[in-house]
A and B are shown apart, each in its own frame.
Chain A
Amino acid sequence: MDSRALKNAMKVSISEVLETMFFMPLEEAEIKMDSALLQTPLNKLACARLIFQGPFSGEVIFLLPHTLAYSLTADFMGQDPNETGPEDMEGTLKELLNMICGKMLSLYDSKAVFKLGIPEKINLAEPLHNFLNTENDAINLIFDTMEEQLALHLALR
């Protein structure tokens, strides 16, 4: 597994999904302890996880502040943000992660077959910097949007 190529596939896929379907440009940001996202309380974050299996297996976690998740959902569904409920937000978050993972894996290796699990909403039980610690083996990316930051985490199993 070529982690540099996989990291690049993560960047391209999240940018393409958010730009194509949400009109949201992204810019990669440096992961720092004082990053705005890392300062967000856990109970203010929306997180989804998808497990995949194939030539290599792992999990991808997508996380962002609730406010950004609701804003994305409202844009996606063409709704007034005030009319956007938690079910729509959760559905959009899971679909977004599904698209990112599918695109990422096909960009990484278009000939390989990966089995994607069903995305699930999760609650983080540990501080965010544990997930986004640059010293562990996972691939972590933080992006600036026009509004707030969001992150993508990939850990191999």
Chain B
Amino acid sequence: MAFNVLIVDDSSPMRAIIRKTVKISGFSIGECYEASNGQEAIDILKDHWVDLVITDYNMPEMTGMELLTHMKKDELLSAVPVVIVTTEGSERMVDEFMKNGAAGYIQKPFVPEDLKEKLNNIMGEPEDGFKSTEECDEGLDF
């Protein structure tokens, strides 16, 4: 089964890094959507089924927390796991992410293994090898 993923971050370089990491993580990835803030993410979620959302916290227009809150109130979207990838590192903020229903949390800076491990915990171990439907031969230089 291929997962559809939505990556939400106002930094296009960071979206590119997360996209590459997800694609080499061993999961079978279907569509990989991108949004630069929470509102854009909601617009995508209205039109497309997504199995996993990976979002930044600090974004203009709508933060990752507001996106998470919106999704948890929506009957269709409340079960979609949301992973917060952010620079915010205070214990209170992390507690708030988890209390609001985040499936996981990763603090930047991170190494690809951190994200991969988190995805394994949430989505289960990939069945085998590299199964991205879109060939990804780009290097991951960090």
Contact = CB atoms under 8 A, between A and B. Distances in A.
Nearest to B138: A78
A94 to B, nearest CB: 7
B12 A118 contact: no
B90 A114 contact: yes
A17 B109 contact: yes
B109 A99 contact: yes
Interface in A102-147: 102-103, 105-107, 109-114, 116, 118
A92 B60 contact: no
Contact of B87 (A76, A88, A98, A110): A98
Contacts of A91: 11-14
Interface string B39-50: 000000000000
Contacts of A92: 11, 13
A157 B77 CA distance: 41
A95 B58 contact: no
Given A105-B89, A113-B92, A77 B109 contact: no
A5 interface: no
Interface string B51-74: 000000011100000000000000
Interface string A61-91: 0000000000001011110000000011001
Contacts of B138: 78
A103 B87 contact: yes
B90 A88 contact: no
Interface in B98-142: 107-111, 138-142
A118 B58 contact: yes
A23 B59 CA distance: 26
Contact of A111 (B10, B20, B92): B92
B52 to A, nearest CB: 22
A109 to B, nearest CB: 8
Contact of A102 (B88, B91, B92): B88
B109 A88 contact: no
B76 interface: no
Contacts of B90: 105-106, 109-114
Contacts of A110: 89-91
B4 interface: no
A71 B142 CA distance: 14
Interface string A2-27: 00000000000000110011110000
A111 to B, nearest CB: 6
11 contacts: A16-B109, A23-B141, A77-B17, A78-B139, A91-B13, A101-B87, A102-B89, A103-B109, A112-B90, A118-B10, A118-B60
